[in-house]
Copies of this chain bind each other. A is one copy, B any other.
């Protein structure tokens, strides 16, 4: 017997009581019970996003939420800057092109966040851009971007640009003060920090983004955010929502509210720091210069690296995932986004050590668990 242990950045593990609540007899979405449930969820989501704006729920993946933003807010011919430092960042640029926007790709070397200088320079070249997309936590490379600082720079140089944040793997892991930092669009997905299965996406728009939305005709039907906003005021959705996922969502959000958002962010920071210390201590160099608190990316062991991920899965029930594109067979990604605690990190490090021994990797056994413990004890 091996317990399945998922350390992937989406789907992430789901608390057992959340799974079981979703197995209760299904509610009808127009019933008063469901309307009341949506009311509670809507309030929790505003706390999660640190906003007073409606946080709209869509039955779709996070990609759908990005499309809702682009199709609701922008017109063909408008310029959109896309700070592209990974697979997900790349996607938003392609999407703007489908909607006829003049998408300007700003490539940033994988593993890095855009620098302040680079952002300033690009904005000075394109002060007329209608938006700037930034990925708060880029899942393909495990890279964190300091949205607070970057949004200040955007506001200064291109004051009319809407600041669009892909928070798909950051919401719940990193502080994201939508209103205070002046963010115009924030999106996330259900199967990430929110600890429920995939199938829902969430999006909030700032007041000035809503003004822009209201000035235009819709370019999409299912993802027309004006319809979603109208329904939101009745604790409803324009189309049949994924009812069972919302039932699970309430339970998961209640857990986050009880822990408190500051503590949720601190927990993710600690898990991330502990895992990094552990991996480095067993000679697995970290990848990238700006680590996300959602997912940790490290180099595969030099010896037998190609077998490492399969070995973890088959022999220990531990699922981590490999790199994509140029990072294929180079790195592995271990998630600590959502329903994880310190013992999970000790278990994954212990399993990794076990696999490394089987592969003949050179390191001092026990070292990684000790290194992580010291971080969790606050000694380092």
Contacts and interface: CB of A to CB of B under 8 A. Distances in A.
Interface stretch (A28-36, A104-112, A158-166, A174-182): A28-36
A26 B194 CA distance: 14
Interface residues of A, number: 51
A280 interface: no
A239 B59 CA distance: 13
A257 interface: no
A314 to B, nearest CB: 11
A197 B245 CA distance: 9
A64 B98 CA distance: 18
Nearest to A241: B198
Interface in A59-102: 59-64, 67, 94-95, 98-99
A304 B22 CA distance: 36
Nearest to A4: B25
Interface in A100-128: none
Given A199-B245, A221-B94, A61 B319 contact: no
A242 interface: yes
A301 interface: no
Interface stretch (A5-13, A39-47, A284-292): A5-13
A30 B11 CA distance: 10
A242 B242 contact: yes
A296 B323 CA distance: 53
A240 B94 contact: no
Contacts of A244: 22, 197, 199
Interface string A335-361: 000000000000000000000000000
A189 interface: yes
A62 B240 contact: yes
Contacts of A31: 319
A261 interface: no
Contact of A29 (B11, B189, B222, B224): B11
Contact of A30 (B59, B223, B321): B321
Select the residue from A60, A94, A222 with max chain B CB neighbours within 10 A.
A222
B60 A221 contact: no
A20 interface: yes
A217 to B, nearest CB: 8
A14 interface: yes
A123 B67 CA distance: 36
22 contacts: A4-B25, A11-B28, A11-B29, A13-B26, A14-B26, A19-B22, A20-B23, A22-B22, A28-B321, A30-B321, A59-B61, A59-B64, A61-B240, A61-B241, A63-B239, A94-B221, A98-B221, A98-B224, A197-B244, A198-B241, A199-B199, A242-B242
Interface of A: 4, 6, 8, 10-11, 13-14, 19-20, 22-31, 59-64, 67, 94-95, 98-99, 189, 191, 197-199, 218-224, 239-245, 319, 321
6 interchain residue pairs of minimum CB distance: A199-B242, A197-B244, A19-B23, A61-B239, A23-B23, A95-B221
